Amino acid sequence: MSSMVRNIVLLILWFMGLSVYATEQIVLDGQLDDIAWQSVPPTKTFFEVVPATHTAYQDKVESRVMTTAKGVYVGIINWQKVGERKKQFNLQDRFIQADFNRIYLDFSGDGSGAYLFVVGLGGGVQDAVLTPQLTTDDDWDGDWQTSYYEAEDYWSSETFIPWHTVSFYNKKNLRDASEIGVSVQLYQLSNNHLYASHKQTTENADFFLTMPKVKAIIPKEHQITFVPYITRQQDLINNNGLNDVGFDLTYKPDHHQKLSVAVNPDFGQVDSDEVDLNYSAVETLRSDKRPFFTQDINIFNVQSLQDTTLIHTRRIGAGSDDAMRLTTPIDAAVRFVQQTEQLQLGAFAVKEDHLGNDAGKSFYAMRGKYRQKTWQTGLLMTHTERPFINRKAQSAAWDTQYQSGTWSMQSTFMHSDIEQNSAQNQGRGASFKLGYQFSANSQFESSYLRLDEQFDVSDLGYIKRNNWRYWQGAFSHAINLNSPLVSRVKHKLSVSYESNDEGVKLPAQRQYSANMMLNSGAEVSVALTHNSSGWQDNIGYNSERFQQPDTWGSRIFYRSSYVGAFSWAASYQYDQEGLDGIAQQFALDLTFMPHEYWTININNFYRKGDGWLIANAHDQLTQYDRAYFVNENKISGLLTNNLELSIYLQWAILEAKSDQVFSIHERNLTELESIDTSFEDKRLVSQVKLRYRLGAFSDIFLVYGRGAMHIDTMQKQNVASTSWLRSVEQLWQTPNEERITLKFRYGF
């Protein structure tokens, strides 16, 4: 077939609304010069969506989308000249300080979920899951490939996402053609503006409804993926080693069905957690990078307020119930998902090692969702067995969501049922969120959460607290300016009210903030906060409640432009805190880019005040004069094309001088004399990591980790007697943890 006839056929098929497979091989080099691209009509009109002027441009971006038997190709040309663009390598899923493209793909074309793929100029990549509620889960990692190319007047990217990367329902019409949603964006680093192929961003409730659609013929496909891995860990303090093996096995009979089996699924969590000095009664919420637990997470997602969730996967494989292990080996895990045009089903089961005394746990979950074009509803049920403490926990959530061009609504009704030592407790919770979008620059949200005193999903899920009623209303309005200095000013006003489930008023926050986007690429923001007076009933140690006064606070923040070899950000905050204290807070973040392949980050945080309140024991609390400093240092870059090096060092010093000690009796505070609860908390985490990339789900990691923690009680006059640098030296010389880890995985 001559090229003319071939092109005529392709154009006829495209006019009929069909996409065809590329017959020529596409070389993924970022250049878009393959013959197959020539028959794909480009999208040249892109809209400015940040700031949301919706101005149409024909000279910013040009994108092409092509589907093949194997997957989706997205080619993007960004019309940015040399000197007007920034090139910088960034590690996977890290902040990209370069110009970059975003690609949103809704494989089913119905808004049941989407996936985000980010390509940075210089090699940085990100991927994430986009839930139906338009929240983003960055823990997900997919199998996809990308490349970029630079010319004098532009840079371009080519991205290939195979059909087998995700699970989705292949919705076909009578001609066996499918529709997938594709949205393309360019983030322009020089001024922080965003240009998109349609006028909505994920801040808009109708993002899915208005996402551009592309016709595709998606073949039926079955696939088996096998990823074995082996780990060698050497404990340098106890002088012992551990060898471990495991695997992930995935079978997809077709795109809408997927069975995943894992044995000892511990590979993904190689990075150390950040230092966490948390003395509050609210648990720190951690992320999870283990591949088995990040796949298909959007099906099991139930959106509720204040991070309330029935499934928090970091519970799985966490500390054993006999308190002898910080992590518990996982024997096996299995998950199955199936999707139809209107129904999504999912289930998983995970069994920890019983450790010889039944100190391990078992976890089960089932999920079903039914959806129409603008609304969906579903049920999630979980079950956890903890035989060592004779405890069984069950939970259920029924959630509903509605979205239109202006309105959005989310509701969740939750139930928990816990049986332990023949005692049974049942709790209930409800979450409701309503949003209205007046325009692209103005919107209002109102949200309400209620959890009764018996509600508890902490065996597998996460809650900040129970016995809680929380309401918040927020209005935001952006003004786009045609000014040589400022391009946008965004105002936001939020008001909240909190009480326990009996209606006792708790402290609540009101805040006004203003954010200014400067044409230079810099950003300035200010905020004024008022915390109303109320009863503090969650100080810790199951203490009685006591009355806290109202407090005021203010904050100013400045971030320089990201362009150039150096950028920085700084903030200053002045607060009232505690009963009658004052605090000041400083933060300074520095970023050096000595080469396009290397980045150095130095982040500093310092807070000093005399009103820090924490509980020391049941019905006893102390107001401290404390200083808290955190220093975080990161070096990352490329040694060769596939070999990455990252160095991480974080240390924190908390110096707390006992100012006043109180007992709580009959909801009143009584000062106690001659009691000194002063202490110091010093911690250090460091890691040197080499990663050699072999391909999708194929890597070699060599990691050296060293950590220390010293918590000492002492007399008030001895606090801060050791300099910070000397404290860091002592932490380094006397580690609590030091190990070398070698991990290898290879995907077949």
CA distance 112 to 369: 10
Regarding predicted confidence, which is higher, 22 or 284? 284
Return the bridge partners of 33, or none.
none
CATH fold, domain 3-216, is Immunoglobulin-like (2.60.40)
**In this structure, what are the phi and psi dihedrals at residue 458, rounded to the nearest 5 degrees?**
-75, -10
Band (9; pLDDT cuts 50, 70, 90): very low
Largest CA distance in the chain: 96
Nearest Cα residue to 741 out of 708, 706, 693: 706
Residue 5 in this model has a pLDDT that exceeds 50: no
* Cβ–Cβ < 8 Å for 168, 102: no
DSSP string, 523-592: EEEEEEEEE--EEE--SSTTPPPEEE--EEEEEEEEE--S-SSEEEEEEEEEEEETTTEEEEEEEEEEEE
User: What does the block give as tokens for 72?
Assistant: 């989706």
Query: Residue 580: which region, alpha, beta or left (left: phi > 0; alpha: psi -120 to 50)?
Result: alpha
Q: Is 7 helix (H, G, I), strand (E, B) or coil?
A: helix
Considering Cα of 339, then 180, then 118, then 375, what sign does the dihedral take? negative
Give the pLDDT confidence of 540-569 residue by residue, as tens digits.
Answer: 999 999 999 999 999 999 999 999 999 999
- Give pLDDT tens digits for 488-519: 999 999 999 999 999 999 999 999 999 999 99
The per-residue b/e assignment along 302-319, b for 16 or more CB within 10 angstroms, e otherwise, is: bbbbbebbbbbbebbbbe
Q: Is the pLDDT of residue 24 over 70?
A: no
pLDDT tens sequence across 353-408 = 999 999 999 999 999 999 988 899 999 999 999 999 999 999 999 999 999 889 99
Contact 300, 331 (CB under 8 A): no
Q: How many CB atoms lie within 10 A of CB 448?
A: 17
Q: HSE of 22 in the Cβ direction (CA atoms, 13 Å)?
A: 21
Please provide residue 446's backbone torsions phi and psi, each rounded to the nearest 5 degrees: -130, 135
Count of other CB atoms within 10 angstroms of residue 18: 16
Q: Which two tokens stand for residue 431?
A: 């979450």
C-beta separation of 399 from 411 below 8 A: yes
Mean pLDDT of the chain: 92
- 555 vs 333, 417, 516, 580, 619, CA distance in Å? 46, 43, 14, 19, 33
